[in-house]
Structure 1
């Protein structure tokens, strides 16, 4: 009874009381209650079916001799090895693997420790006959001897090993490296693979876009693939483009190149150097205004359009992009515009008028490009019909042109003096173009009687000689 009374006194001072049910299966004689401080009590023999409730005490008061404290000698860090602990920190769970995480974990780059090593040469700089030195030197036998220490050798080996496994940029010429260094964008990868007996001679393929795409799957997680957008052409009007994907970059490149070779289109060109006429095209949010240019102008446009023109065979062009610059949309919009071009005969037939071109390199001499079967008169043309060729080509769209910058000298008083002095010839250019358009040259009342008076007489003689030389070459 003294033990139970002391236990009850301790219970009154404790912060928390819990009860533990002891059944017949407990060891007879003593019961140890669970807790921070356990109470050990002697028990009589438990009769069948009866239970004894013992106080489990948690107290901060000093414990007497009959209260013991349980301790644990094991921990999480003692049970597992160092390798298992590091694996638990660096590895990915099964749920994470399903989501595609940790695919690069565990990949170790092997280092070639034999690199830079020479047989017979080590930390101790010693001459070994037969290994790092000849056995005989002249008529004398070479003996093993100690040389001066070489402290730089170990540092060179460590530096060489540290550089192993690092990416080395490819050494490419500036003409082969594409748009951005050693990346594949804009780089040439050769013609498509032959199909049977048909070879793609004269073709070349350029990679316009190469990126990594991912698809989320419930079973396999995040599946990553390579997406390649390629354009191929023979520089003679045949061209095609395609988009392909693959698990590896090399396979995706090959698939895109061959698929582009199977989707070829023929593009008509004017004198094999530029487009037939100005046009407006659109795909999605990408709008492109394309302008026809004379020889020698070059390609002034987006780098994607420039790569396409080089493979098609277009050498002179100006293109202005408005809106989105998505590369795939640019390619599709430009190809749609090239396909929808109208030939000169179609334009003349639809309009019922002569199609005439005036160019500054020909002194604005009118060149008839196409003529209709029946030309309409002025009375047949409606008053509100658009007669501007740019308005006919671009439709309802008008390209935005910046206001030209006014030179500083136009604000000076001397500019007014210049205008007064040149007033007598200020409209000579306009009159010259009007004469060329209406009378097919600069003529006066004596031009019919004396043809040498015509301002274009020398030009006509040059054209005549050029035609005679071409005819003579054909006869030969």
Structure 2
């Protein structure tokens, strides 16, 4: 076997080790991202998993992905005990968006970590919703629900930033919202939290849409 083939094989094995290690870690949320060496190690592992996903994907997939913001929210490992031992499978939850008002989430399962992330990424692109954004924030307070999770989003003044963590932060960031206050209540299941956030964003309406539904004209601004 040539040296080049040996190097390629070793590189592939290293990628699998990194991806499997990332699957065993929980995604850091809130203060965990910014404090503690353990939280930083977890964050770095998932970041490396995303880089491997992009580098191993076909050229056409990478070109499409370059235009979208993608975030691996959660990776889960499941084991099945059979006669010959244990069989492992992986599932991933990915959020993607164009940061211009469109965002979606996807869930995928596979025997390999890289494959389940790819499936999730493709699924998130097929199920995207449009979000009304006003001056880099949301037009009005809104509450979203899914399963046992409830997420409340509140408009924020310019410069506030994203006061949110975990799946909520991933969704609003992918949608292109820059200033918002968020509160997650009830279930902290990553899938429920992400879908509750999407449910909240789907309910947003602009001032023009609200006046149109009520059959009223939007009042004209008087010149100073």
The normalised TM-score by structure 2 is: 0.68
Shift of residue 323, structure 1, vs aligned partner: 1.1
Deviation at 1:333, TM superposition (A): 0.5
Residue 69 of structure 2 corresponds to residue 207 of structure 1: no
Alignment match, 2:105: 241
Q: Which sections of structure 2, spanning at least 5 residues, go unmatched?
A: 1-16, 23-32
- Asked if the contact 1:208–1:304 (Cα under 8 Å) also holds between the matched residues in 2, the reply is yes
Q: Could you say what secondary structure the match of 1:199 adopts? A: helix
Mapped to 1, the partners of 2:93 and 2:112 lie a distance apart of: 14
CA contact (8 A) 1:178 1:188 kept: no
1:251 to 107, 112, 115: 115
1:266 counterpart = 2:122:
no
The Cα offsets for residues 419-443 of structure 1, whole Å up to 9 and x where unpaired, read as xxxxxxxxxxxxxxxxxxxxx9xxx
Structure 2 residue 160 is the aligned partner of structure 1 residue 297: yes
Matched, 1:286 2:149: yes
The answer to whether the 8 Å contact 1:237/1:266 transfers is yes
Report SS of the residue matched to 2:144: strand
Secondary structure of residue in 2 paired with 1:205: strand
Who wins on radius of gyration, i.e. which is larger? 1
C-alpha distance in structure 1 between counterparts of 2:40 and 2:146, whole Å: 26
Q: Deviations over 1:280-336 (max 9, x none)?
A: 111111111110112111111123211222221100000111211111111000101
Structure whose residues are more often strand by fraction: 2
Whether contact under 8 Å (1:267, 1:338) holds in the other structure is yes
Could you say if the C-alpha distance between residues 253 and 338 of structure 1 is closer, same or farther in structure 2, counting changes exceeding 3 Å? same
Instruction: Please say if residues 215 and 223 of structure 1, whose CA atoms lie closer than 8 Å, have aligned partners that are also in contact.
Output: yes
CA deviation string 1:149-203 (max 9, x = no partner): xxxxxxxxxxxxxxxxxx9999xxx99x97834332797547786769x834421
Partner of 1:341: 204
Is it true that 1:223 corresponds to 2:72 in the alignment? Answer: no
Answer 1 or 2: which has greater helix percent.
2
Match of 2:139 in 1: 276
Cα deviation, residue 226, structure 1: 0.8
Rounded to whole Å, the distance in 2 between the matches of 1:227 and 1:221 is: 20
Structure scoring higher RCO (CA < 8 A, sep ≥ 6) equals 2
Unaligned runs of 5+ in 1: 1-166, 355-369, 373-439, 441-459, 461-476
Deviation at 1:264? 2.4
Q: Conserved in 2, the CA contact under 8 Å of 1:239 and 1:312?
A: yes
Aligned to 2:13: none
Shift of 1:346: 3.2
| Alpha-carbon distance between aligned partners in 2 of 1:279 and 1:351, rounded to the nearest angstrom | 19
How far apart are 1:349 and its partner, in Å?
4.5
CA-based RMSD of the aligned residues comes to: 3.6
Q: Following superposition of structure 1 onto structure 2, how do residues 305-384 of structure 1 map, counting pairs within 5 Å?
A: 305-350=168-213, 370-371=218-219
* Structure 1 residues 200 and 331, CA gap change in structure 2 (3 angstroms): same
In structure 1, what is the Cα distance between the partners aligned to 2:202 and 2:155?
15
Q: Is the 8 A contact 1:193 1:199 kept in 2?
A: no
